[in-house]
Amino acid sequence: MTLVAASPLGRRPAQLFGGWEVGLLGLMALLYAGGAFLNPDFFGIGGEALQSLLRDSSRYGVMAVGMTFVIANKDLDLSVGSTLGLMGVVFSYVFNTAHYDMGVVPAIIVCLALGTLIGLINGVLVTFLKVPAFIATLTMLLIGRGFILGLTGGRAILYPIKARDYAWFFQLGEVNAWGLNNQVMLALVVVALGAFVLAKTRWGYETFATGGNEQAAIYAGIPTNWVRIRAYIISSLCATIAAFMTVAQNKGITSQAGLLYELIVIASVIIGGASILGGRGRVIGSYLGAVLTALIHKVLREGVPIVREIEVGGKIIQVKATSTLPAGAVPVFIGGLLILAVLIEPYIIRQKMPQRIWAWIRKRPAPPPVETGGVALEGSQTKGSMVSDRAVHARGVGKFLARRDALAIILTVVLWLVGLWLRPDFWAGLPNTFAILLNYTELAILTIGLTYVIACADIDLSVGAVLALAGSTAAYCLKVLGLDPVTAIAMGILVGTGAGAVNALFTVGFGLPAFIATLGMFYMARGAASWLTSGKQLTGWAEHFNLIGRKVGDILRFFGLQSPEGLLGAVTDVVSIQTIWMVVVAIIAGVVLGYTTFGQRVYATGGNRRAADYAGVSTNRVRVTALILAAFCAAMAGVINAAYFRSFNPVAGQFRELDAIASVIIGGGSIFGGFGTVIGSLAGAAVITLVRSLLQLNIEGFSLPQHYVNTFIGVILIVAVLADIWIRQANIIGRIRTALSQRRPLQREPAHA
């Protein structure tokens, strides 16, 4: 069946390989030349760079194949990195002599089954259960990481000796007779298969239809839920294959395996020409994107050889060294790259930028940009169909129960009583109350800002990272620059708030979905934080700064005052400055959100942005304010964190964004926007804090390891989001009740319609 390329219908569009891929190859050649110029030993001909580049990129490449399917469906899978790690750990558990000590084949089978299961869970969550993809898969990422740390205990599992008996499998990590690593061969096979399926088969066509317009695809009889679930399964199976490659190469697994891979893989796919808005993407482009990203990674990491002059015994000796970027810098660049790559599709391809520049060079009239038909960049706001208006008619207790934050308030009380019941000796005492209140304060400050963002129907995934950035900035100013505490606090808050301004710029200014812009910031801010502190813990500075993180009693003592007696004295020993500060901020933020026109503008923006725009609400300004406020709150929490610990640790605030999002949702916020109160979010934060301290409670000598606590919080987040979608929005309990009462002979009040 030979088809002529130029038929009367014009040239058929390229399905496998196109201009974009050619451009990528060109860019790679340039970059490689740049690398060779900077570091000829490593990148030069005969250097190991090409070999290791292809080997390292093969894992990203395999995962990019699956991710292309997911992104072409207008979904996102953030869990791939932790799936890789978890599958590596599971493989090792099954295979390792110290654990189950089975062969390679059972290990592979178990991993493939589990990988399928993870993909299935992701898929079912985002399709049938309607959880937004980023929140479902981010939670899976957290849960996966929790399991990895819990299972490995943070250590590596290695089995080089047993691996010798299974050479046929572990050869996967070796260089073959053609001088190429076997991983590269496997990657090429997977890429070829994926490219064929996506470009040439019905599976691929169904994917593009689903990503382009899901509604139209449903009308056309495409089972879009299955198409999306299938993509998630493909994605997590690809991560499983990448896990096999990792295990084969290292003959073992570390607890760090797959860390940040999701970022690199998503960046690769987007660079490879896929659109985050779905409906576009080519597997070969994604693979080239992965190679390109790995190359950038390498050029950044390998660094420039320099000659350093050292004085030894009065003589100046020249020493060869390489100037490399610190570890934290890499996520900064890759995160930035991700955001820039996402901008390519709307601002360069849709605007026909290359064609226009070419036309401008030739002094011809520019072709018009692709008519977008006024379609906004953001996906449509998904809304739950109904919220019952019971609150209007209910009285007394019913009125309280109909509040969206009722659940959080009840849970707070119940959880506290559970704690009292489990450890009556300890729970209500001063030290524990102090610890709970302290943990609560940090989370509460984060949720205050996030409440505004979520009520605006945006999301900020970067609050935990911004916390770290602000804390590290303050610590850097104090320790390295030797600035005074006030300036250090101001700098920390300024830099953190600046991160919020960047979020706002990309979300509102460039119209990127909030989750992708703040995801970029999630990596950039944390990377920058560990870059600033060079990955180390900074400590030892003026005690004056630390005062903002102390108990009231400590401060009285610091200034040589006598702390009061009795109950008041107990209060001063429990309440710290940051708690008071948090209460002040919460009251202001709560009043503004609940009672001012600005608060009304926030709810209008989150409820229906178009309607709010028509009504003259400047929704852009509202969203910018909310995003900056969230970062401002995170920055305050960061500075306080550094002051409390009298030091700054780069892992500060890790996973805090999930705690904060869960708090807002439990407290009555909706992941789709338009709801949320400060009181509710504070109650939600109390729930999360109490759950954490309950899980860490030592009962008869047993306490749950910290890693599993994170896993548990992840589960709570998903349950909260599901409850919001199905109980509050879709009113499933009301519908069941109606369905039941309709079966009975009529006895119901007339509906309000």
Partner 1 sequence: MHDVINQGPAIIEMRHINKSFGAVNALIDVDLMLRSGEILGLVGDNAAGKSTLMKILTGAYHRDSGEILVAGNPVHFRSPHESREVGIEMIYQDFALCGNMDVGQNVFLGRWPRWGVFFVNRRKMYAEAGEVLQRLKVDVSSVYQKVESLSGGRQQSVAIARSISFEPRVVVLDEPTANLSVMATERLLETMLELKKQGVAQVIISHRLQDIFAVGDRVMVLKRGENVGDRYIAHTSEQQVLEIIISGTREAAITADEALTKAA
| Cβ 604 to partner 1 shortest distance, Å | 5
Contacts of 233 (CB under 8 A, 6+ apart): 116, 119, 120, 123
Of the residues 35, 485, 607, 638, which one makes contact with partner 1 according to CB under 8 A: 607
Contact map string, positions 708 to 727, toward partner 1, x by CB under 8 A = --------------------
Q: Please select the residue that binds partner 1; options are 518, 608, 649, 711, rule is CB under 8 A.
A: 608
The answer to whether residues 638 and 468 touch, using CB atoms and an 8 Å cutoff, is: yes
Q: Which stretch binds partner 1 (CB under 8 A): 67-75, 140-148, 446-454, 593-601?
A: 593-601
Given 603, 632, 644, 648, the residue binding partner 1 (CB under 8 A): 603
737 binds partner 1, rule: CB under 8 A? no
Nearer to partner 1, 236 or 681 (CB): 681
**DSSP E strands: which ranges in 135-290?**
157-158, 252-253
Residue closer to partner 1 (CB basis): 234 or 604: 604
CB nearer partner 1, residue 221 or residue 616: 616
Where are the strands (E) in 248-368, listed by range?
252-253, 304-312, 315-323
Of 66, 285, 606, 684, which lies in the binding site for partner 1, with binding defined by CB under 8 A? 606
- 610 binds partner 1, rule: CB under 8 A: yes
Q: In the bound complex, what is the minimum distance in angstroms from residue 615's beta carbon to partner 1?
A: 3
Residue with tokens 């999002």: 661
* CB nearer to partner 1: pick between 587 and 615: 615
**How many CA within 13 A on the CB side of residue 139?**
24
Segment 255-294, which members bind partner 1 (CB under 8 A)? none
Minimum CB separation from partner 1 for residue 734, in Å? Answer: 11
Nearer to partner 1, 196 or 598 (CB): 598
Tell which positions 355-394 bind partner 1, by CB under 8 A: 368, 371, 383, 385-389, 392
416-421: long-range contacts, CB 8 A cutoff, minimum separation 24? 416/690, 418/694, 419/690, 419/693, 419/694, 419/697
- Of the candidates 627, 587, 575, which has an alpha carbon nearest to the alpha carbon of residue 440? 575
Residue corresponding to tokens 């505004």:
452
Q: CA–CA separation, 738 vs 753, rounded Å?
A: 15
Q: How far is the CB of 592 from partner 1 (least distance, A)?
A: 7
For tokens 């302290």, the residue is 438
Give 46 or 368: the residue with its C-beta nearer to partner 1.
368
Establish if 598 lies at the interface with partner 1 (CB under 8 A).
yes
Tokens representing 660 are 């904060």
Binding test (CB under 8 A) with partner 1, winner from 42, 69, 440, 675:
675
In angstroms, the Cα distances linking 751 to 389, 395, 741 are 12, 19, 13
Residue length, the chain? Answer: 753
Applying CB under 8 A, which of residues 228, 298, 551, 601 lies at the interface with partner 1?
601
Residues 6+ apart with CB under 8 A from 532: 328, 469, 472, 473, 475, 476
Strands (E), 453-506: none
Give the binding range for partner 1 (CB under 8 A) out of 68-76, 302-310, 342-350, 614-622.
Answer: 614-622
- Amino acid identity for residue 27 in this structure: L
Q: Residue 723: how many CB atoms within 10 A of its CB? A: 15
Q: In sequence order, what are the beta bridge partners of 321?
A: 306
Q: Which of residues 177-236 bind partner 1 (CB under 8 A)?
A: none
Q: Does 599 bind partner 1 (CB under 8 A)?
A: yes
> Is position 615 an interface residue for partner 1 (rule: CB under 8 A)?
yes
Q: Find the part of the chain contacting partner 1 (CB under 8 A) among 275-283, 508-516, 669-677, 687-695.
A: 669-677
Rg of the chain over Cα atoms, rounded to whole angstroms, equals 28
* Smallest distance, partner 1 to C-beta of residue 384, A: 8
User: Which 8-state DSSP code applies to residue 702?
Assistant: B
The yes or no reply on residue 597 touching partner 1 (CB under 8 A) is yes
Nearest to 644 by CA among 537, 563, 530, 551: 551
By the criterion CB under 8 A, which residues form the site for partner 1? 368, 371, 383, 385-389, 392, 592, 595-601, 603-604, 606-608, 610-612, 614-617, 670, 673-675, 752-753
